[in-house]
Amino acid sequence: MLFNSFVFALFLPAVFALYWGVFRKLRAQNLLLIAAGFLFYGWWDWRFLLLLLATSLTDYFVALAMGRSASPKRRKLLLGISLIGNLGTLGIFKYYDFFARSLAAGLAELGIAHDPFLLKVILPVGISFYTFQALSYTIDVYRGRIEAVRQADTFLAFVSFFPQLCAGPIERASHMLPQFQRARTFNTAQAVDGLRQMLWGFFKKIVIADNCSRLVDGIFNSSDTQPGPVLIIGAVLFAFQIYCDFGGYSDIAIGTAKLFGFDLMRNFAFPYFSRDIAEFWRRWHISLSSWFRDYLYIPLGGSKGGRGMAVRNTFIIFLVSGFWHGANWTFLAWGLINAIYFLPLLLSGRHRNNLGIAGEGRRWPAFGEVLAMLGTFGLTCVAWVFFRAATIGQALSYIRDMFIHLFDVGHWSRTAQYITDRATYGPAMACIGLLLLAEWLQRNRQHALEALVFTRPLRWSLYIGLVLLIVFVGDHAEQTFIYFQF
């Protein structure tokens, strides 16, 4: 079920009314959330529910067994079962065909004919997200950071919580499970803030991301015939498309959770105001970056073994992060490029220089900060080309053609005509400008509409204006979210 669908517009109020009006006891509310989560997730294909249920129950019983055992050897064996079950399932559904095809291609280069056996299975929506969320639970139980949950319904409610089930944020059991174990009361201020964040998320998704999507598709699908400046525009528009698509989903998910009395972790912190790549990765997809830090980077030794180990572990993290996104060499290349970007900061010890917000204490950034933000944004746009391209070859050709004719007057003339012929460019650019202005002014907040200091008439004028933009400028084709494929 899509957030930006008519069905969800009926689903959410119905669940909300039942949750606060009928199912007022804690366990009843958790059972309702399980039913809502299964309905929400099974809307695409009910067969996916069997996989979700199987992996959830495996982790539930494994954690219970770990909680009852004092034997380190047995606990490690049980953790292995959870790791193999979760990562094995992820590997079969997401990566098996990729490795089979890659092996066949490699053998073909050696002159060995090989017809690979392919599963050709549909990738379950959000499998990477709920797999990592469940793994955080069993790993933390193994480490003794949390106790195993005895109530199966509590654990199922945690795994299948519909606002963040399909695309995060990837919650930690230590943060989220206690919220399912204590009584919840309706908080008007929290719910109102949730609605504001949802409104901003819908604006980002429907108005910016979905309009950019059509423009970006047109450019990338004909990149070999486009002038260089148009390719640059395509890369920039994709940067905003993926941010507003995924960031919009996160805003809607976090806002929806607030309606039910839950606090989800922040997933984006205005990443395009970052002054270096290290800061960008502290602000982009925070739940995944911090997951890799806590469950992979630190267990590998972090930076405690010296600079060499820090470099090695940093490259591992970025490559695994790239591969997490999808079974394609382009994602590995994207991860490698970001690791290379990060390396000079790490080696010079400047990777933690920008821990605060840009322009702190001032309304507008200093000139040096503007240059740093533009430079960081430019680097991310180049990396995003690999993320968006179908093949590494297309990405390399795209980047070459972006710059090879940059100073050719004829290319700029063709670019002007290309933009003139597409009426959606103007509204898309204007809405991106509105996004940047609003998020800059609210950069010390959790989201762009939090705690507005305007008078009530001005606030409501802003809300109504955003609704009108969604209605009249937004793309209403119910486009899916980019990260559903991961």
Q: What's the whole-number mean pLDDT along residues 276-289?
A: 97
The overall average pLDDT reported for the chain is 93
Q: Is the pLDDT of residue 405 over 80?
A: no
* pLDDT tops 80 at residue 281: yes
Average pLDDT over residues 138-145: 95
Residue 324, in any domain of the structure: no
CB 65 within 8 Å of CB 295: no
Closest to 126 in 3D by CA, of 215, 75, 51, 202: 51
Q: Do 218 and 89 share a structural domain?
A: no
Q: How many CA atoms lie within 13 A of 222 on its CB side?
A: 9
> Taking a C-beta distance cutoff of 8 angstroms, is the pair 118, 66 a contact?
no
Same domain as 140, residue 77? yes
Task: Give the model's confidence band at 97: pLDDT under 50 very low, under 70 low, under 90 confident, else very high.
Answer: confident
pLDDT band at 327 (very low <50, low <70, confident <90, very high): confident
Asked, for residue 287, whether it belongs to a domain, the answer is no
Side chain identity at 436, as an amino acid letter?
Answer: L
pLDDT at 237: 96
Q: Write out the catalytic residue numbers.
A: 325
Q: What is the 3-state secondary structure (H, E, C) of 99-132?
A: HHHHHHHHHHHCCCCCCCCCCCCCCCCCHHHHHH
Q: What is the pLDDT of residues 34-71, one digit of tens each?
A: 999 999 999 988 888 999 999 999 999 999 999 999 89
Contact 59, 97 (CB under 8 A): no
Token code pair at residue 483: 């990260």
Q: How confident is the model at residue 413 (pLDDT cuts 50, 70, 90)?
A: confident
> What is the mean predicted confidence (pLDDT) over 403-418?
80
Whether 170 and 257 map to the same domain: the answer is no
> Is 477 a residue whose pLDDT tops 90?
no
Three-state SS for 475?
Answer: coil
pLDDT, residue 475, reads 87
Query: 188 with 364: CB under 8 angstroms?
Result: no
Q: Within this chain, do residues 41 and 105 fall inside the same structural domain, yes or no?
A: yes
Give me the mean pLDDT over the 313-335 stretch: 94
Of 133, 161, 185, which marks where a domain is finished? Answer: 185
Inside any domain, residue 320: no
Instruction: Judge whether residue 433 has pLDDT over 90.
Output: yes
Does residue 3 register a pLDDT over 90? yes
402 shares a domain with 463: yes
The pTM assigned to this predicted structure is: 0.95
pLDDT value, residue 343: 96
Between CA 243 and CA 222 the distance in angstroms is 23
Residue 82 pLDDT greater than 90, yes or no: yes
Asked if residue 323 is part of any domain, the answer here is no
Tens of pLDDT, residue by residue over 215-259, are 999 999 999 888 889 999 999 999 999 999 999 999 999 999 999
Q: Is the pLDDT of residue 409 over 80?
A: no
Three-state SS annotation for 43-71: CCCCHHHHHHHHHHHHHHHHHHHHHHCCC
Looking at residue 265, the DSSP 8-state letter turns out to be P
Inform me whether the pLDDT recorded for 485 exceeds 80. no
What's the pLDDT at 410? 78
pLDDT at 352 over 80: yes
Return the H-helix or E-strand segment holding 199.
helix 188-202
Q: Is residue 1 part of a domain?
A: no
Q: Is the peptide bond before 178 cis (omega within 30 degrees of 0)?
A: no
Whether 372 and 241 share a structural domain:
yes
- Residue 302 above 90 pLDDT? no
Which residue, of 130, 153, 185, is where some domain finishes? Answer: 185
90 and 235 together in one domain: no
Does residue 383 contact residue 341 with C-beta atoms inside 8 Å? Answer: yes
Whether residues 270 and 408 fall in one domain? yes
**CA pair distance 45, 124, nearest whole angstrom:** 9
User: Nearest 5°: phi and psi at 298?
Assistant: -65, -45
Nearest to 5 by CA among 165, 210, 159: 210
Q: Once rounded to an integer, what is the mean pLDDT over residues 283-300?
A: 95
User: Residues 228, 363: one domain?
Assistant: yes
Contact 316, 332 (CB under 8 A): no
Task: Give the model's pLDDT for residue 141.
Answer: 96
- Distance, CA of 341 to CA of 278 (rounded, Å): 9
Is 129 in the same domain as 194? Answer: no
Structural domain tally of the chain?
Answer: 2
Q: What is the mean pLDDT of residues 457-461?
A: 93
Domain annotation covers residue 281: no
Residues 6+ apart with CB under 8 A from 328: 98
On the CB side of 435, how many CA atoms lie within 13 Å of its CA?
29
- How buried is 65 (Cβ within 10 angstroms: 0-12 exposed, 13-18 middle, 19+ buried)? middle
Asked if residue 424 has pLDDT above 80, the reply is no
Identify the domain containing residue 36 by its residue range. Answer: 6-185
* CB-based contact 201:446 (threshold 8 Å): no
Residues 6+ apart with CB under 8 A from 280: 271, 274, 376, 380
How confident is the model over 10-31, as a mean pLDDT?
96
Same domain, 53 and 177: yes
Same domain assignment for residues 412 and 443: yes
Query: Which ranges of 304-423 would DSSP assign to H, the alpha helix?
Result: 307-325, 329-348, 367-388, 392-404, 409-420
* Residue 114 scores a pLDDT above 80: no
Domain stops at, among 128, 160, 185 = 185
